[in-house]
C-alpha cells in the first residue's frame, strides 16, 4: 500500500529525526506522525484524520492543548489540504511526509499508488509534474531541505530517463 503502515513508520522516523535537529517538541511530532493518515480513505484526509486524532487522544487522556497541537500538525501536513503549518511541529510533520514522497521510496510509492488507482505510466508522470517534482521547494526546515537534495536529484534523473525511454518507444 502506498499509504500503509510502512509509510507511517518512515514518516514517524523522519519526523522525529527532523524534530530533534530543529528543536521541535518530539512528543507532539511523534504522535501527529503516528496519526497523520488514519482517515486516508476519506476526502480531505488531513482534516478527517485530525478529527479522529482528537477523539483518540481524548480517550487516551491527553490534555486539550496537546490534542490541538497534534491536530494542527495533522491538518497542515497534506499537500492538498490548504491548511498552512503555523508551528514548528506542523512544519516538521509536513516536511517528513513530503520527504517520503520523493527519492527512490517516493517513486516506488507513486507507482504503487497508480497501480491501486489503475493509472498509466503517463498519468503517473503527470503526478510527478504536478506534485512530486515541486515538493523540494515546499519544505520548511533546513534539516528537511538538506535531506531532500539527494532524493530530489534521484527523482529528477528517474523522471528524465523514463521520459527519454517513452519518447524512444514513440519514435520506433
Tell whether the torsion through CA atoms of 134, 136, 141 and 144 is positive or negative: positive
For residue 44, the model assigns a pLDDT of 87
pTM to 2 decimal places: 0.92
- What pLDDT is stored for residue 99 in this prediction? 97
Query: Residue 31 and residue 26: Cα distance in Å, rounded?
Result: 8
Query: Tens place of pLDDT for every residue, the chain, 172 residues?
Result: 656 689 999 999 999 999 999 999 999 999 999 999 998 778 888 999 999 999 999 999 999 999 999 999 999 998 777 889 999 999 999 999 999 999 999 999 999 989 998 999 999 999 999 999 999 999 999 999 999 999 999 999 999 999 999 988 777 7
**Residue 24 near residue 98, CB atoms below 8 Å:** no
Give dist(CA 72, CA 90) in Å, integer.
Answer: 7
CA distance 71 to 49: 8
Q: What is the CATH number of the domain that holds 24?
A: 1.10.3210.50
Q: How many separate domains does the chain show?
A: 1
102, 132 Cβ separation under 8 angstroms: yes
Structural domain of residue 162, as residue ranges?
A: 5-171
Torsion on CA atoms 26, 12, 80, 144, rounded to nearest 10: 70
Helix or strand or coil: residue 80?
coil
pLDDT of 81 reads 75
Cell numbers given for 52: 479522529
Q: What is the pLDDT of residue 8?
A: 93
H helices of 45-120, in order, are: 45-59, 64-76, 88-99, 103-117
Other Cβ atoms less than 10 A from the Cβ of 169: the count is: 8
Task: Classify burial at 172, counting beta carbons within 10 Å of its beta carbon; exposed 0-12, middle 13-18, buried 19 or more.
Answer: exposed
Amino acid at each position: 500500500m502506498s499509504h500503509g503502515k510502512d509509510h507511517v513508520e518512515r514518516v514517524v522516523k523522519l519526523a522525529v529525526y527532523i524534530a530533534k535537529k530543529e528543536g521541535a517538541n518530539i512528543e507532539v511530532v511523534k504522535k501527529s506522525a503516528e496519526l497523520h493518515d488514519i482517515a486516508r480513505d476519506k476526502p480531505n484526509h488531513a482534516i478527517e484524520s485530525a478529527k479522529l486524532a482528537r477523539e483518540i487522544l481524548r480517550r487516551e487522556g491527553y490534555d486539550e492543548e496537546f490534542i490541538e497541537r497534534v491536530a494542527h500538525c495533522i491538518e497542515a501536513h497534506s499537500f492538498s489540504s490548504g491548511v498552512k503549518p503555523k508551528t514548528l511541529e506542523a512544519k516538521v510533520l509536513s516536511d517528513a511526509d513530503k520527504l517520503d514522497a520523493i527519492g527512490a521510496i517516493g517513486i516506488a510509492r507513486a507507482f504503487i499508488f497508480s497501480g491501486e488507482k489503475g493509472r498509466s505510466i503517463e498519468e503517473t508522470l503527470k503526478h510527478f509534474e504536478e506534485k512530486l517534482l515541486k515538493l523540494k521547494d515546499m519544505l520548511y526546515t533546513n534539516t528537511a531541505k538538506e535531506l531532500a537534495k539527494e532524493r530530489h536529484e534521484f527523482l529528477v534523473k528517474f523522471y528524465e530517463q523514463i521520459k527519454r525511454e517513452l519518447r524512444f518507444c514513440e519514435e520506433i
